[in-house]
Each structure stands twice: as C-alpha cells, then as structure tokens.
Amino acid sequence: MIIFLIGYMGSGKSTVGYELAKLINYDFTDMDTLIEQQNNCSIVEIFENKGEEKFREIEHNTLKGLLTKNNIVISTGGGTPCFFNNLELMQNAGVTIYIKMSVDKLAERLSNARQKRPLIKDMSETDLHSFIQSNLEKREPYYLQAQYKVKAGNLNVNELATFIKKEIGLQ
Ligand code: S3P
C-alpha cells in the first residue's frame, strides 16, 4: 500500500509521515526532498530559476515516478493534490490522508519557516495570515477529497502517527 499525506504547508506532513512510516515499518519519502535530490538544487532555487509552472511539472513527474512503490508513506508538497490530475493519481494508487490544521495554527508554525518556502518567503506576518486563509480556501476542495481527514490540532507527532495508523485500520 502507498499512504499519501496531503495538506497545507506547515501542517507537519513530513514529520508525521516519517513517524508513521517508522511505526508501521514502511519506507518513507518526502516529495520535496526527493525533488531537491533529483534536481540537485533547492525548491527555492527551482522556483527562482525555472518558475512555479516548471516546478509543478517536475512535481507531477516525481509523483508519477512513485506510483509503483509499495509499503511506503509519501509526504507530498502542499500544492501537490491541487495540480494536474495528481489527486486522482494518488487516489488510484493508494490511500490519501489530509492532515488538517487551522489557519491560525498554520500561520503560527509557518511564521518561522518561511525561508524554505518560495510562496511565502518574502511575506510579512500580517500578509502571511491572510494569504494562508485565501489560499487554503482554494485548496481545501482538493484536500477534502482525501479518503481520511485527520485533525492535527492538539496531538503531538507520535500521537498523530498512532491515530492515523488506527484510522486506516493497520494493527
Ligand atoms: C508548496 C509547498 C511546499 C513545496 C513548495 C510549494 C505549496 O511543500 O512543495 O514550496 O504550493 O504549498 P510543503 O507543504 O512541504 O511546505
């Protein structure tokens, strides 16, 4: 089985994914990290040098390259399910889990993690909050199509991984 974690930037997809994979003895891949390794440059550099459109193509191709894997947890990028037929590809290849978090919490968590994220890198604190709010509104229709929706709210990483494991019916 492939388990795809989807959700907004800063919702903790990578840390939870890593923890979940350990818990259920699956491999783990973080798509952004894989893209950086395969292209030998950072996500920020890809956006700066090639533009978002090219990044989305690269992201789409990276996803397609992962679809034949098995027993793996894949943490996607925040935009992954919202472009091309990526969501459909994920739904057909495995199980999708939306890691849901409030705008306030996302803004709080992202305020110190802007640097690595080209979409919000140069944004002020106030702009960040309203950007997340309107961007999440556009993206949630995709995220909400996930087979499982998990509120990340007040759980720590371990609790969340354990909760997801139970939710998807793994012993
Ligand atoms: C993006 C999210 C990032 C990364 C890129 C674009 C987005 O991943 O793929 O900066 O469009 O939301 P994270 O969700 O891991 O930050």
For the stretch 33-83, pLDDT in tens is 999 999 999 999 999 999 999 999 999 999 999 999 999 999 999 999 999
Query: For residue 97, what is the DSSP state?
Result: E
The CA 76 to ligand 1 mean position distance, Å, reads: 8
Find, among 171, 164, 170, the residue nearest to 148 by Cα. Answer: 164
End-to-end CA separation in angstroms for the chain: 14
Pocket of ligand 1 (CB under 6 A): 9, 13, 32, 43, 77-79, 117-119
Cα–Cα distance measured from residue 8 to residue 6, given in angstroms and rounded to the nearest whole number: 7
Taking the CA atoms of 157, 71, 141 and 63 in sequence, report the sign of the dihedral they define: positive
Looking at the DSSP assignment, which residues form a beta bridge with residue 98?
6, 149
- Which two structure tokens, joined as six digits, stand for 35? 């893209």
| Spatial distance between the Cα atoms of 137 and 124, rounded to a whole number of angstroms | 20
pLDDT tens sequence across 85-132: 999 999 999 999 999 999 999 999 999 999 999 999 999 999 999 999
In angstroms, what is the span from residue 9 Cα to ligand 1's centroid? 5
